[in-house]
Structure 1
Amino acid sequence: MTIDQLDAFLAVVKYQSYREASEKLFLSQPSISSRIQALERELGADLFIRSGRGVVLSDQGRILVPYAKRMIGAYKKARTDLHHGSGS
């Protein structure tokens, strides 16, 4: 599980669209799909229910959202603390 995968996951959650998530993250749609698929493989869970009108969270996806938000938050805080604590 990588920060990039979690970022992609949360973007798709927010925009309910792989296309919109890819635009907001300045990535290709196949890149977003690849990150989500890798995350799903690693977790052994389908995180989204895909339909012709976009995607909605699965039950497993709903469970992951708060964890993903906390992990991203901790990552950003660590980066900030390390940057400010480095004397730069």
Structure 2
Amino acid sequence: LGYAIHKDYWRQGYATEMIKALIDFCHRNGARKITAPVAQENAGSNAVLKKLNFYIEKEGSFKKRGTDIVYAEYTYRLDLT
């Protein structure tokens, strides 16, 4: 799972609504799990995923595309079984 929302639309429930729809879609189509990598410093996305019952499966890091900037990362997981 990956998404980006323009700053003008943060904190309006769009991420929650979008992820809920994706969870429903995945349930209907037989998926067993959803994973979502998120920068640890991204408080909004971390809060949304926790609110929707995702849990941290592992920690790691990633390099921002086109730069040498490295971010600490959580990979969240939601089991659909």
TM exceeds 0.5?
A: no
Largest Rg, 1 or 2: 1
Give the strand-richer structure, 1 or 2.
Answer: 2
TM-score by length of 1: 0.29
TM-score by length of 2: 0.30
Bigger RCO of structures 1 and 2 (CA < 8 A, at least 6 apart): 2
Give the helix-richer structure, 1 or 2.
Answer: 1
